[in-house]
A and B are shown apart, each in its own frame.
Chain A
Amino acid sequence: MSIDLKTIKHIAKLSRISIDDKKAKELEKDLNSIFEFIEALNKVDTKKVDPLTSIAETSLKLRGDEVKTKNIREQILKNSPDENKDFFVVPKVVE
């Protein structure tokens, strides 16, 4: 199978990455060569095989929901790309 330009643009949309036509063509070439390589897996019969989702394969442990780090609000907000230092600000979403 091969991935066409339309699919590339759809995946880019889903990935929230903007790409122009030139980039889309490059990605079409790269992704097709990678998937050609991946297709080798189809030769293996896996009908009776259980998927391996985690190496640990143990149930997750529970722990108390406690605050351990306090008073770092300012430090966290300092990383905000926007100038405003009280909130995280995004472009207007409600007209």
Chain B
Amino acid sequence: MSDIINLTLSALIDKIKNKELSSQEITNAYIARAEKSKDLNTYITTDFENAIEKAKKFDEKGNFDYKLPGVPLAVKDLFCTNNLKTTAGSKILSNFIPSYESTVTQHLWDEGAILLGKLNCDEFAMGSSNETSFFGNVESPVGKKVVPGGSSGGSASALAAKLTPATIGTDTGGSIRQPASFTGTVGLKPTYGSCSRYGIVAFASSLDQAGPMTQDVSDAALMLDVISKYDTKDSTSVNFKRGDYFKSLSSNIKGKKIGIPKEYRVDGMPKEIESLWQDGITLLKKLGAKIIDISLPHTKYALPAYYIVAPAEASSNLARYDGVKYGYRSEGENLISMYENTRSEGFGDEVKRRIMIGTYVLSSGYYDAYYLKAQKIRRLIKNDFDEAYKSVDAILTPSTPSSAFKIGDKTDDPVSMYLNDIFTVPVNLSGLPAISIPAGKDKNNYPLGLQLIGKAFEEQNLLNISYSMEKELSFKNNLQDWWIK
């Protein structure tokens, strides 16, 4: 059994196709491990009985030509799953059972994957440490009482702890890449418009994007092949020619031009992050890439602009939670007080904070000063990238300004929590693809990640560069299974 959970997704698929392993053997192995790993609090909802049933059916008459034949997967609880509770980590959706399936998860099942259950996340994906979930904190397998990052914290923790061979998360300001970096896993945020947003609980619609979280770069390419498809149900889905990402993986990056933005060298950045970045540059040179110093002058304005745009869109998106048609309801003496009590009790502190920021910046008299201003800054940030991409193919930065921190360390000060996303947010504002790959460890033995940012719709390029780096880095998490009961 320990052999099964140590396999990468692509190795697992090979073994299924060669009939060395059955879907039931694999599904049972992951379920058994999840049962012993409850202390990490990665799952909000499990669907194990159905998973075993589906695995049995697959073994009887499954299609081995599928891309994910009989592979069990757990997904972030922000994806709506037909007939299975979908909470978005919130009390207000704690009893919500969707009558439809998100496009992205549907693609997984259409390729033969089997749902294990729904993974914990920050409430409505608002958070960087998985400490805002109504269903409790998630612990990272990298250390006791260490946060897995957020908002896809349950996904990152479950993946690193080998409770699922791969998973999918969503990334609005870094919610795939930051937890991947904190847990020594690979996280890819595709170009805005690549993966359908249909059926994903909305946070900030102009920034939200689903993407793979995997053990290595090949697995990320494989998952992207499955989930990146044009969808008429999402009006911002883009109908571009997608690559054959997994098959086209190449580690030859000779002559690729990689930009190093000086603005990402922020004050107070730990030495180990600085040297991680330097080592990444050295490695790229060794692999034949050309390193070019670039400038993204508006970088420091990305985070403040994000904290206008994202809450503004969130305040509109979350207006639908009113206790009428679904979700939690608190009674009130009249309709308005029913709304107010429902939302006051149903949302957690961070969500309320962001709804209020958003309401304020969109309110009469402040729209121009805040929202419009932020959209103009957004243009400048995107222009910076456009300018840089005239001379480079991709950009290398650290994924996060620090390694994982302890639970409770940053919960008192929202701004210090927000600073976690300083390197990831500009990418969402510009709609670009970016990947975080594990590249080293800090003095506590916690993983550190490097981020590669690519040109829009050039995921293949991004995957190839990180694939070639991964081979040389040969990162290993070497977790001690301390949480197993």
Q: What number of A residues sit within 8 Å (CB to CB) of B?
A: 51
A-B contact count (CB 8 A): 159
- Whether A67 is near chain B, meaning CB under 8 Å from some CB there, is no
Q: Using a CB-CB cutoff of 8 Å, which residues 297-346 of chain B contact chain A?
A: 298, 300-301, 303-305, 307-308, 315, 319, 322-329, 331-341, 343-344
Residues from chain B with a CB closer than 8 A to the CB of A33 are 413-415
Residues from chain A with a CB closer than 8 A to the CB of B300 are 40
Cα A54 to Cα B192 in complex, Å, equals 10
Name the segment of B23-31, B96-104, B140-148, B159-167 touching the other chain. B96-104
Knowing A44-B298, A82-B329 are in contact, say whether A91-B356 is a contact too (CB < 8 A): no
Name the segment of B62-70, B171-179, B210-218, B378-386 touching the other chain. B378-386
Q: How far is the CB of A61 from chain B (nearest CB, A)?
A: 7
**Chain A 43-63, CB within 8 Å of chain B: the 1/0 string?**
010100111111110101101
Residues from chain A with a CB closer than 8 A to the CB of B343 are 15-18
Q: Could you list 6 further interchain pairs (A-B, Cβ under 8 angstroms) beyond the known A44-B380, A88-B325? A: A15-B356, A16-B343, A18-B340, A33-B413, A50-B376, A63-B232
Interface pair B430/A55, CB less than 8 Å apart: yes
What are 5 inter-chain pairs, A to B, with CB distance below 8 A?
A38-B308, A46-B376, A52-B375, A56-B431, A81-B324
Cα A34 to Cα B304 in complex, Å, equals 9
Residues from chain B with a CB closer than 8 A to the CB of A19 are 344
Cα A33 to Cα B419 in complex, Å, equals 13
Cα A27 to Cα B344 in complex, Å, equals 13
Q: Which of A16, A63, A76 contacts B340 (CB 8 A)?
A: A16
Across chains A and B, which 3 residue pairs bring their CB atoms closest together, nearest first? A55-B431, A51-B375, A81-B329
Cα A42 to Cα B98 in complex, Å, equals 43
- Whether B41 is near chain A, meaning CB under 8 Å from some CB there, is no
Knowing A33-B415, A56-B238 are in contact, say whether A46-B324 is a contact too (CB < 8 A): no
Cα A87 to Cα B162 in complex, Å, equals 45
Cα A55 to Cα B193 in complex, Å, equals 9
Interface pair A60/B378, CB less than 8 Å apart: no
Residues from chain A with a CB closer than 8 A to the CB of B413 are 33
Residues from chain A with a CB closer than 8 A to the CB of B97 are 75, 78-79
User: Closest residue to A38 on the B side, CB-wise?
Assistant: B304
Cα A60 to Cα B340 in complex, Å, equals 35
Knowing A61-B232, A79-B326 are in contact, say whether A18-B360 is a contact too (CB < 8 A): no
Q: How far is the CB of A53 from chain B (nearest CB, A)?
A: 6
Knowing A60-B235, A61-B232 are in contact, say whether A91-B332 is a contact too (CB < 8 A): yes
- Whether B254 is near chain A, meaning CB under 8 Å from some CB there, is no
User: Closest residue to B369 on the A side, CB-wise?
Assistant: A42
Interface pair A55/B192, CB less than 8 Å apart: yes
Q: Which of A27, A58, A75, A90 contacts B324 (CB 8 A)?
A: A90
